[in-house]
Amino acid sequence: MLRGFYAAASGMLTQQRKTEMLANNMANANTPGFKADQSAFRAFPEMLLNRMEQQDGLTPATSRTIGSLNTGVYMQEAMPNFLQCDLKETSLKTDMALLDVSLPINPETDIKGAVFFTIEGPGGEPRYTRNGNFALDGTGYLTTASGGYVLDRLGNRIVLENDHFTVNEEGRILVDGVEAARLGIAYSDQPLTMAKEGDGLFRSNSVLVDADNVDGVNFKIQQGFLEQSNVDTAQTMTEMLTAYRTFEANQKVLQAYDISLQKTVNEVGKIG
Mind listing the pLDDT tens digit of every residue in the chain (272 residues)?
567 778 888 889 999 999 999 999 999 999 999 999 998 888 777 777 777 776 666 666 677 777 777 778 878 888 899 999 999 999 999 999 999 999 999 998 899 999 999 999 888 899 999 999 999 998 999 999 888 999 999 999 999 988 899 999 999 999 988 999 999 999 999 999 999 988 899 999 999 999 999 999 999 999 999 999 999 999 999 999 999 999 999 899 888 888 887 877 777 656 55
Residues 156 and 254 in one domain: no
Residues 96 and 212 in one domain: yes
**Looking at the domain assignment, is residue 57 inside a domain?**
no
Name the residue range of residue 100's domain: 87-227
**Looking at the domain assignment, is residue 186 inside a domain?**
yes
Residues 40 and 114 in one domain: no
**Looking at the domain assignment, is residue 58 inside a domain?**
no
Residues 147 and 36 in one domain: no
* CA-wise closest residue to 11 among 241, 240, 239, 251: 251
Residues 169 and 243 in one domain: no
User: How many Å apart are CA 184 and CA 131, to the nearest integer?
Assistant: 14
Residues 91 and 214 in one domain: yes
Per-residue pLDDT at 105: 93
**Looking at the domain assignment, is residue 264 inside a domain?**
yes
Domains contained in the chain, number:
2
Residues 178 and 253 in one domain: no
**Looking at the domain assignment, is residue 65 inside a domain?**
no
* CA-wise closest residue to 37 among 25, 29, 27: 25
Angle, to 10 degrees, between the axis of helix 2-27 and the axis of helix 233-263? 160
User: How many Å apart are CA 94 and CA 90, to the nearest integer?
Assistant: 10
